[in-house]
C-alpha cells in the first residue's frame, strides 16, 4: 500500500496525464460563460480597462502623476493581479463548484486544480490581448520582455499549489470561503497594484517589500511593460513557490481521501 506522500504525488501525476481532458473542459466552461455574447471573454478585458482607467485617474489626481504614464502601469498591475490575487478568491470554490462531477466520476483532485489554473490562464490571455491592443491605440505599446514566459510558468505553478492550499480547507470549513474574499480585498489595497512602491515613504517601504504579492505582481508587470524583472522579485517568488509546494503536497497527502466526503 503506497504511503500518503506517494499517493499525493501519484494524484498530481494522474492529473498531468489528463491534461487533454481538463484543457478542453476549461475551454468549454469559459465559452459557456459568454454564450450568445458578441465580445465573449473580452468582456473581462473591458472590465479590466475601465477599472484601470478609474484607478489611474485617482492616482494621477491624488499623487500628481501623469495619467498617460500611470495608466499602462495600472493596467499591467491589474492584469498581473488577475493571476496573483483573483485566483486566490476563486480557488475556494474549486471542489465545491465541481461537486457533481467529483461525486459521479473518479478523477484525481489535481484534475480540478489544473482545470482552475487553465481557466485562469485563458482569462489572463484574453485580458493581455486587450491590454496590448489598448497600448497600441494609446501609442504606449512596449514589446513584452522574454522573461514574461518563465514568469507566467512560475505563476501558474503558484496558482496550482495555492489551489490545493485554499480549496481543501474551504471544502471542509465553508467559513473559509467567505473569509477569503475579505483577505483578497485587503491584499489588493496593500499590494502595489494600482500604485507604485516609489510612492511609499522610505520609512514604511519595508512593509511593501516584505509582501510576497508585491514581488509576484512586479514579476509579471515588468515584462508586460517591456522590462526585465529585478532578481529580487525572482528570488522572492521562487521562495514562495517552494513553500507553497511543500504545504500543498502535505495537505493533499493528509486529506486527499476525505475531500469528496466533505462536499
pLDDT of residue 205: 80
Tell me how far apart the alpha carbons of residues 224 and 158 are, in angstroms, rounded to a whole number. 19
In a domain, 137, yes or no: yes
249 within domain boundaries: yes
Q: Is 42 a domain residue? A: no
Residue 183: give the domain boundaries. 4-34+51-262
Cell 480540478 identifies what position?
A: 112
| Residue 115 is assigned to a structural domain of this protein | yes
With residue 2 as reference, give the H or E element that holds it. Answer: none
pTM for this one?
A: 0.88
**How does pLDDT run along the chain (263 residues), one tens digit per residue?**
468 888 889 999 999 999 999 999 888 887 777 666 666 666 666 767 677 676 666 666 656 666 667 778 888 888 899 898 888 888 888 998 888 888 888 889 999 999 999 999 988 988 888 888 888 877 888 889 999 999 999 999 999 999 999 999 998 888 887 888 888 888 888 888 887 777 777 777 887 888 899 999 999 999 998 899 999 999 999 999 999 999 999 999 999 888 888 87
pLDDT for position 62: 59
Among residues 61, 70, 167, 150, the alpha carbon closest in space to that of 111 is found at: 167
Asked whether residue 192 is assigned to any structural domain, the reply reads: yes
Nine cell digits for residue 113: 486544480
Does residue 216 lie within any of the structural domains?
yes
Per-residue pLDDT at 60: 65
Which pLDDT score, from 0 to 100, does residue 248 have?
95
Res 7: pLDDT? 87
Task: Output Rg (C-alpha) for the chain, integer angstroms.
Answer: 19
Residue 204 domain-assigned (yes or no): yes
pLDDT at 28 (0 to 100): 85
| Tally of structural domains, the chain | 1
Q: Collect all residues with Cβ–Cβ distance below 8 Å to 217 and sequence separation of at least 6.
A: 77, 80, 81, 84, 191, 192, 193
Residue 71 is predicted with a pLDDT of: 78
**pLDDT for 221:** 93
pLDDT in the model for residue 100: 84
What's residue 200's pLDDT?
A: 74
Contacts of 80 by beta carbon, 8 Å cutoff, 6+ apart: 193, 216, 217, 218, 219, 220, 221, 224
pLDDT score for 45: 67
User: Is 76 a domain residue?
Assistant: yes
Amino acid at each position: 500500500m503506497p504511503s500518503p506522500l506517494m499517493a499525493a504525488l501519484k494524484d498530481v501525476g494522474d492529473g498531468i496525464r489528463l491534461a487533454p481532458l481538463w484543457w478542453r473542459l476549461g475551454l468549454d466552461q469559459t465559452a459557456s460563460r459568454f454564450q450568445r455574447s458578441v465580445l465573449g471573454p473580452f468582456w473581462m478585458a473591458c472590465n479590466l480597462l475601465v477599472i484601470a482607467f478609474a484607478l489611474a485617474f485617482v492616482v494621477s489626481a491624488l499623487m500628481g502623476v501623469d495619467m498617460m504614464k500611470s495608466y499602462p502601469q495600472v493596467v499591467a498591475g491589474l492584469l498581473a493581479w488577475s493571476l496573483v490575487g483573483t485566483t486566490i478568491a476563486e480557488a475556494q470554490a474549486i471542489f465545491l463548484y465541481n461537486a457533481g462531477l467529483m461525486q459521479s466520476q473518479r478523477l484525481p483532485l489535481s484534475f480540478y486544480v489544473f482545470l482552475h489554473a487553465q481557466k485562469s490562464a485563458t482569462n489572463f490571455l484574453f485580458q493581455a490581448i486587450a491590454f496590448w491592443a489598448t497600448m497600441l491605440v494609446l501609442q504606449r505599446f512596449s514589446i513584452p520582455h522574454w522573461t514574461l514566459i518563465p514568469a507566467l510558468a512560475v505563476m501558474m505553478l503558484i496558482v496550482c499549489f495555492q489551489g490545493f492550499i485554499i480549496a481543501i480547507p474551504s471544502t471542509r470549513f465553508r467559513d473559509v470561503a467567505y473569509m477569503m474574499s475579505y483577505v483578497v480585498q485587503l491584499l489588493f489595497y496593500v499590494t502595489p497594484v494600482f500604485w507604485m512602491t516609489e510612492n511609499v515613504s522610505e520609512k514604511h517601504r519595508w512593509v511593501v517589500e516584505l509582501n510576497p504579492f508585491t514581488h509576484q505582481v512586479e514579476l509579471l508587470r515588468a515584462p508586460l511593460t517591456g522590462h526585465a524583472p529585478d532578481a529580487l522579485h525572482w528570488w522572492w517568488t521562487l521562495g514562495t513557490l517552494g513553500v507553497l509546494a511543500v504545504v500543498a503536497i502535505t495537505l493533499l497527502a493528509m486529506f486527499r481521501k476525505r475531500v469528496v466526503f466533505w462536499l
